[in-house]
Amino acid sequence: MSVFVIGYYALLLSASCLAAYFNKRSVFLLLFSLTLVSFVVGIVGGAGALKAIAIGAGMLALAAMVSYAFREFLILLASTEMAKELRTAPLTAAFGMFVIFTYAIAGIFAPIIAPYGEAEVISSAFAPADENMLLGADQLGRDMFSRLVYGTRNSVGLALTATCAAFIMGAGAGLLAATKGGWFDQFMGRFADVIMSIPSLIFALLMLSIFGPSMPVIIIAVSIIYAPRVFRLTRAVAGNVVVMDYIEAAKLRGEGTGYLIRREILPNSTAPLIAEFGLEFCFVFLLVAGLSFLGLGIQPPTADWGSMVRENATLISFGEITPLIPAAAIALLTVGVNFVVDWMLHRSSGLKE
């Protein structure tokens, strides 16, 4: 028994006793089950495993503190209306917003933040990290950190463009179908059914094999694949609004389709549409990352997270985590967006609990 192990258990047990004393039921449950798990893990894996748990818990606590501080920061900045909403946000949602904020900064100011250019060869291949290079060099000797920062701009930018394109197509068609109805509605519905019954990755691969991997092709292919999903949701949401009396009144007033969509239907269906945008972005981002991981996304030398994972994958067999960093960057952004969407869905729809 080292000092660390004794200290570890002492801290956990005293914290759970404190939680129990102050009647914090859920905190107590969490801490005490962590203690029980640590008993088992400690016996199997020794002090090393306990250290890993301690580091993980420490990082979680750090993330929680950052998100708490960021939420307070946002509440101070926002108007009273917004601040009221923000106060209801759980820590996970605040964490998600923090992640999105960081990525936005990294993407917009990439040339200022990155110490080197994205295609600049500055050292030997796979050089380890030193004071010049925060994360070492990649397979051609380019600075990993700079490429990661530029990757934010390229990968996220591409996914965002594709999502916007899918949204404009899908939501536009959905709103039109809901207001017009009739054969247009029927036809678009069946068309969406057919597209959705082809697996998305397979459909993307088919289109890329025909038109070759280039930015416009990827954007068009991805937006065609995801537009039907947006169409379905918009159609459903707008379909509920269209039957309302005030729409009838507006129609009787003699308003045109454009006015109906812009002034009556859209304002009443924004909440689910915004949440859908977030979800759709996650799907698109993962699909684009998968494509570039397969070597069919943004072509080199442009920095892009998916292809960076693939190019450096050989390092894994030497126990290096460098290739995992861009993959983790992808995962972190999707998790962040998902957390925010989760909160928004809860708020707007009041899911059954």
Partner 1 sequence: MGDILGLVLKRLGLGLVILLIISVIIFFMVELLPGDIAEAVLGQGATEDNLAALREQMGLNKPAIMRYLEWLSGALMFDFGSSIVTQEPVMSVIGERFLNTLFLAAYAAVIAVPFAIILGVIVALLRNSIFDRVANVLTLTSISSPEFFLGYILILYFSVKWGMFPAIANLSEGMTFWELLERTFLPALTLVLVVVAHMMRMTRAAIINLLASPYIEMARLKGVPPWKVIVRHALPNAWAPIINVVALNLAYLITGVVLVEVVFVYPGVGQALVDAVSKRDFPVVQACCLIFAATFILLNLAADVGAILTNPRLRHPK
Task: Give every CB contact of residue 125 below 8 A, 6+ residues apart in sequence.
Answer: 137, 138, 139, 140, 141
If one asks whether residue 342 binds partner 1 (CB under 8 A), the answer comes out as yes
Cα separation, 208 vs 205, in Å, equals 5
Task: Say which amino acid occupies 332.
Answer: L
Instruction: Judge whether 111 and 104 are in contact, CB under 8 Å.
Output: no
What are the φ/ψ torsions at residue 143 (nearest 5 degrees)?
-70, 120
Q: Residue 77 CB, nearest distance to partner 1 (Å)? A: 26
Task: Give every CB contact of residue 187 below 8 A, 6+ residues apart in sequence.
Answer: none
Q: Residue 126 CB, nearest distance to partner 1 (Å)? A: 16
Q: Cα 57 to the chain's mean position, in Å?
A: 23
Q: Pattern of binders to partner 1 over 273-312, x per CB under 8 A? A: ---------x---x--xx--xxxx---------x--xx--
Q: Residue 80 CB, nearest distance to partner 1 (Å)? A: 29
Q: Is 121 helix (H, G, I), strand (E, B) or coil?
A: strand
CB closer to partner 1 out of 219 and 247: 219
For the chain, how far is it from start to end, CA to CA, in angstroms?
A: 45
Cα separation, 343 vs 91, in Å, equals 10
If one asks whether residue 324 binds partner 1 (CB under 8 A), the answer comes out as yes
142 forms beta bridges with 121
Q: How many residues sit close enough to partner 1 to count as binding (CB under 8 A)?
A: 53
If one asks whether residue 26 binds partner 1 (CB under 8 A), the answer comes out as yes
Residue 109: DSSP 8-state:
T
Q: Pattern of binders to partner 1 over 163-202, x per CB under 8 A? A: ------------------------------xx--xxxxxx
Determine which residue in the list 23, 182, 245, 318 makes contact with partner 1, applying CB under 8 A.
Answer: 318
Determine which residue in the list 6, 61, 82, 331 makes contact with partner 1, applying CB under 8 A.
Answer: 331
If one asks whether residue 23 binds partner 1 (CB under 8 A), the answer comes out as no
Residues from 85 through 114 that contact partner 1 (CB under 8 A): 92
Point out which residues bind partner 1 (CB under 8 A).
26-27, 29-30, 92, 193-194, 197-203, 205-211, 282, 286, 289-290, 293-296, 306, 309-310, 313, 316-319, 321, 323-324, 327-328, 330-331, 334-335, 337-339, 342, 351-353
